[in-house]
């Protein structure tokens, strides 16, 4: 997913809202039914993506966005969300996921109004340490915040609208009572004025169609379809080509928005092995329990799904994953670019608090028989224990974790060591250089890949780093 300037929710098209999605054509969008809607004459394509500032004890946070509108001062609101959409926020962090592609007439827009119709959270009970799912009371369903600076454009180049949710300030959990008040920060820009990092997005889901030049994926989060162009620069794991990826298989696509309103695939990673073109099932989320036999071999684990894929997946708080000797293990192509190899992740590496993606088939008892387990991206918030230090081409740093958090609860971690490399990306105005100048106790958000070595040392390899944005004061307050 893309890291947008100021960590905002970008109007794109895949995670949270029901809407129109990217096709390979520069002036068209595909809807959930696979049709095509032309961009309105005289308008520019507009993309919406979503990000969040994670909260340590939240395993999953799903909200239904019923309306999004932009407006000029004194003008009537212009709706940019075609249908209500449900989006999972807790797994995003510094990443951004597309939610909708629409069009917007050139002009000057000063504010954004977001309306939430439902919110559900799975969190760790501080007393029992067990995951609990609760529907939240909506104390203030709608919020209007200023676009500062205002969005002012006159060309047909694509526009990004960025909205970043703060889970810590949006959710209030007191005992068994949960309330939700949307706390967001916003920004908007034309794609042509953004850097490459700010234009990146990520979608995980089922392959609807694939050719040598494009891939269409149905998001496991929103259920919406996104089409990415494939070219000579698109990266695949060793031995994988578009011809080896089957329809109905599960993939993760890291992409980039283009100025004409299309998406380009930067990397594509299949998430299940040994499957035919038949329906695959799967999920990505956080491991909460691990089972091993007397020999110490992994036999199963329980996870809290943040997204799920496939028509047979149950709508339950947790998912039981069965592991066999034939189960394959892997890392995403994104992780490979950060220096992680497939051999670094195996059955001994799976532990509670870790993010994984699984693919396989559901059995008659509601278990997922995993054909492949892939190390997933993890969103972690904390404060720096000291300024980052250079170590060759890398930057080493350590995060003091919030308490309670699932890593402090499951793995008894108080601090977490992390590393940023040459391919780590930065958001919210950070660069590799300015990151080294941050002092101890500075809050940051990291999206990366968490592993533990044989000595029990945990290391988070950062793919994206940003400073959390302070939610804006709603207009009228």
Look at residue 254 and tell me if it is in a domain.
Answer: yes
Domain assignment of residue 180, given as a range: 5-193
**Residue in the structure block whose two tokens are 């850097």:** 195
For residues 334-360, give the mean pLDDT: 92
Assess whether 81 and 177 both reside in one domain. Answer: yes
How far apart are alpha carbons 223 and 221 in whole angstroms? 6
Whole-structure pTM value = 0.82
pLDDT of residue 411: 87
Residue 476 belongs to a domain? no
Residues 229 and 128 placed together within one structural domain of the fold: no
Is residue 435 within a helix (H) or strand (E), and if so which, with residue range? Answer: helix 432-435
pLDDT above 90: residue 294? yes
Average pLDDT of the segment spanning 308-323: 82
Question: How many Cα atoms sit within 13 Å of 192 on the Cβ side?
Answer: 10
Structure tokens at 143: 């919020």
* pLDDT for 3: 36
Query: Using one digit for the tens of pLDDT, what is the confidence trace for 200-228?
Result: 888 888 899 999 999 999 887 777 788 99
Q: Which of 422, 421, 416, 472 is nearest to 445 (CA)?
A: 416
Residue 107 lies in a domain: yes
* Position 448 in a domain: yes
Looking at the structure, tell me whether residues 185 and 36 fall in a common domain.
Answer: yes
Q: Is 475 a domain residue?
A: no
Whether residue 473 lies inside any domain: the answer is no
Cβ atoms of 67 and 100 within 8 Å: the answer is: no
Q: What is the pLDDT of residue 215?
A: 96
CB atoms within 10 A of CB 441: 10
Cβ–Cβ < 8 Å for 412, 127: no
Residue 444 · residue 379 · CB < 8 Å = no
Alpha helices in 100-171 (DSSP H): 167-170
pLDDT level of residue 376 (50, 70, 90 thresholds): very high
Instruction: pLDDT band for 326, please (50, 70, 90 cuts).
Output: very high
Of 16-25, 157-166, 352-361, which gets the smallest average pLDDT? 16-25
Tokens of 476: 């009228």
The larger pLDDT score, comparing residue 143 to residue 49, is at 143
Residue 23 pLDDT:
31
**Lowest mean pLDDT: which of 160-164, 311-315, 447-451, 466-470?**
311-315
Buried b (16+ CB within 10 A) or exposed e, 255-291: bbbbbebbbbbbbbbbbbbebeeebbbbbbbbbbebe
Residue 4 has pLDDT above 50, yes or no: no
Residues 161 and 109 both lie in one domain: yes
Neighbours of 449 (CB within 10 A): 23
Which of 270, 300, 325 terminates a domain? The answer is 270
Q: What phi and psi, each to the nearest 5 degrees, are found at residue 77? A: -60, 145
277 or 279, higher pLDDT:
279
pLDDT at 41: 56
Mean pLDDT for the chain overall = 82
Are 71 and 179 found together in one domain?
Answer: yes
φ, ψ for residue 385, nearest 5 deg: -80, -20
| CA 430 – CA 7 distance, rounded (Å) | 11
Question: CA 367 to CA 115: how far, in whole Å?
Answer: 36
Count of domains in the chain? 4
pLDDT digits 0-9 by tens, 36-82: 334 555 688 887 777 766 667 888 888 899 999 999 877 889 998 88
151, 178, 193 - which closes a domain: 193
Q: Higher confidence at residue 92 or residue 17?
A: 92
Peptide bond just before 9 cis, omega within 30 deg: no
Q: How many CA atoms lie within 13 A of 264 on its CB side?
A: 14
Same domain for 364 and 237: no
Regarding whether 159 and 204 lie in a shared domain, the answer is no
With CA atoms as reference, report the closest residue to 80 among 170, 3, 151: 151
Q: Which residues contact 439 (CB under 8 A, 6 or more apart)?
A: 384, 387
**What's the pLDDT band for 175 if we cut at 50, 70, 90?**
confident
In this structure, what CATH number is given to the domain that contains residue 230?
A: 2.40.50.140
Predicted pLDDT of residue 347: 93
Q: Which of 235, 270, 305 is the last residue of a domain?
A: 270
When mean pLDDT is compared across 205-209, 307-311, 441-445, the lowest value belongs to 307-311
pLDDT recorded at residue 16: 32
Averaged over 443-459, what is the pLDDT?
90
Q: How far apart are CA 371 and CA 319, in angstroms?
A: 15
Residue 39 lies in a domain: yes
Element (H, E) at 448: strand 443-452
Is position 276 within any domain? Answer: no
Q: In whole angstroms, give the CA distance from residue 328 to residue 345.
A: 10
Same domain, 212 and 177: no
- In this structure, the chain runs to a length of 477
- Note whether 90 and 379 are within 8 A (CB): yes
Whether residue 351 sits in one domain with residue 299: yes
| Percent of the chain with pLDDT strictly greater than 70 | 86
Do 19 and 81 share a domain, yes or no? yes
Neighbours of 237 (CB within 10 A): 16
Tokens at 430, concatenated: 């950070």
Higher pLDDT, 121 or 128: 121
Do 329 and 371 share a domain, yes or no?
Answer: yes
Q: Are residues 286 and 261 in the same domain?
A: no
Instruction: Find the mean pLDDT for residues 230-258.
Output: 90
């Amino acid at each position: 997913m893309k890291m947008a300037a100021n960590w905002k929710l970008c109007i794109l098209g895949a995670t949270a809202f029901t809407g129109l999605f990217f096709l390979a054509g520069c002036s068209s969008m595909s809807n959930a039914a696979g049709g095509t809607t032309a961009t309105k004459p005289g308008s520019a394509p507009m993309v919406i993506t979503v990000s969040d500032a994670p909260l340590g004890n939240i395993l999953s946070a799903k909200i239904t966005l019923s309306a999004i509108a932009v407006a000029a001062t004194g003008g009537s609101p212009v709706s940019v969300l075609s249908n209500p959409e449900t989006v999972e926020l807790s797994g995003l962090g510094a990443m951004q996921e597309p939610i909708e592609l629409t069009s917007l007439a050139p002009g000057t827009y000063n504010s954004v109004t977001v309306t939430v119709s439902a919110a559900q959270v799975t969190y760790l009970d501080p007393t029992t340490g067990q995951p609990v799912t609760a529907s939240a009371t909506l104390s203030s369903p709608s919020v209007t915040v200023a676009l500062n600076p205002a969005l002012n454009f006159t060309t047909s180049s694509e526009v990004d609208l960025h909205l970043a949710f703060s889970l810590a300030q949006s959710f209030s959990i007191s005992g068994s009572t949960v309330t939700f008040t949307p706390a967001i920060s916003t920004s908007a820009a034309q794609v042509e004025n953004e850097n490459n990092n700010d234009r990146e997005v990520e979608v995980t889901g089922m392959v609807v169609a694939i050719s040598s030049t494009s891939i269409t994926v149905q998001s496991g989060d929103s259920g919406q379809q996104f089409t990415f162009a494939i070219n000579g620069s698109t990266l695949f794991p060793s031995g994988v080509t578009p011809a080896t990826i089957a329809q109905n298989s599960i993939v993760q696509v890291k992409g980039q928005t283009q100025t004409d309103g299309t998406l380009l695939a930067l990397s594509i990673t299949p998430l299940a092995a040994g499957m035919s073109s038949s329906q695959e099932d799967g999920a990505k989320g956080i491991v909460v329990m691990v089972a091993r036999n007397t020999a110490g071999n992994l036999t199963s684990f329980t996870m809290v799904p943040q997204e799920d894929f496939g028509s047979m997946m149950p709508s339950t708080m947790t998912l039981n994953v069965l592991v066999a000797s034939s189960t394959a293990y892997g890392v995403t192509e994104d992780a490979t670019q950060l220096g992680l190899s497939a051999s670094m992740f195996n059955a001994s590496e799976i532990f509670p608090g870790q993010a994984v993606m699984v693919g396989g088939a559901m059995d008659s008892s509601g278990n997922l028989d995993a054909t492949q387990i892939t190390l997933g991206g993890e969103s972690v918030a904390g404060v720096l224990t000291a300024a980052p230090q250079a170590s060759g081409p890398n930057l080493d740093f350590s995060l003091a974790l919030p308490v309670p958090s699932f890593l402090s609860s499951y793995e008894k971690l108080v601090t977490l060591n992390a590393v940023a490399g040459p391919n780590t990306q930065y958001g919210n105005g950070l660069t590799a250089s300015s990151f080294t100048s941050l002092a101890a106790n500075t809050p940051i958000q990291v999206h990366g890949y968490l592993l533990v070595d044989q000595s029990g040392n945990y290391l988070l390899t950062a793919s994206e780093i940003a400073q959390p944005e302070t939610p804006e004061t709603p207009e009228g307050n």
